[in-house]
A = this chain, B = another copy of it.
């Protein structure tokens, strides 16, 4: 792989970006891209690394998809929409598919609404492929950015979709193919306005992420164990709580008792708990409760 050839290839394929995406003023190929931006913009970076976020042998297209979908999911978790993306890759010298990988990233970035406007590639002696994607987004026009710090005691706690078992025994599974909840988040902000109180996406496990929401808001959270929607094939509530990589929305609702069973697009909405005074995240069931704010995984700790 020669960097110049690869970059030329990318620029050629990006020639029509400004035509397809009104926000792109100058696409890849100059020192910087130029993108039309709202008064306030969202910014997020996330990376996927072989052996940690995907197993060796995962199809290129799914690696690219996950790399783009992860930061897009964070934009969704603010109730925003993605506008543009940047990709950087560190690629083993022996890796022959750099071209296909960038094509796939570009295709998924378009599909998720945030065309790739820049990138950087380095071939290295490292044996491990890593991709870092930055996404620029626009907050919800009326609701504004939905922060994780705005939960208050009395809010109800909800989740989209179903949790657990996302990382299959073969390393494949939903963690590679999830749909970032951009439409769902946008619909929630449209529908609930300021009653949509705090939100994040569940990436490291419901227990740990609910604990983070509680900590950011200075509140406690109680999750009803038997209300947690468990994904088909997942190993019960423990998997739903701790597996992570679900990329579902966890959100708080204030002053509204009921929501439809699904979003207009058919994504399930489930009330799973309550925001209370105090701190931490406790799982409660008939006859017991437990602290679950550390249940999940964090990079650097997984064996």
Contact = CB atoms under 8 A, between A and B. Distances in A.
Given A3-B298, A49-B122, A137 B32 contact: yes
Contacts of A51: 124-125
Contact of A122 (B32, B37, B52, B88): B52
Given A43-B35, A136-B43, A301-B2, A49 B117 contact: no
A123 interface: yes
Interface in A81-125: 84, 86-88, 90, 117-125
Nearest to A200: B31
A231 interface: no
A47 B298 CA distance: 24
A300 B41 contact: no
A34 B79 CA distance: 12
Contacts of A53: 122
Nearest to A84: B43
Interface stretch (A142-150, A165-173, A237-245, A272-280): A142-150
Contact of A120 (B25, B45, B136): B45
Contacts of A126: 49, 126-128, 130
Shortest 5 CB-CB distances between A and B: which pairs?
A134-B134, A37-B37, A31-B77, A45-B86, A32-B42
B39 A37 contact: yes
Interface in A1-45: 1-4, 6, 25-26, 29-45
A37 B39 CA distance: 5
12 contacts: A4-B301, A26-B145, A30-B78, A32-B77, A43-B136, A45-B88, A47-B88, A47-B120, A49-B126, A126-B127, A126-B130, A134-B134
Interface of A: 1-4, 6, 25-26, 29-47, 49, 51-53, 74-75, 77-78, 80, 84, 86-88, 90, 117-128, 130, 132, 134, 136-137, 139, 145, 147-149, 199-201, 216, 298-301
B30 A41 contact: no
A212 to B, nearest CB: 9
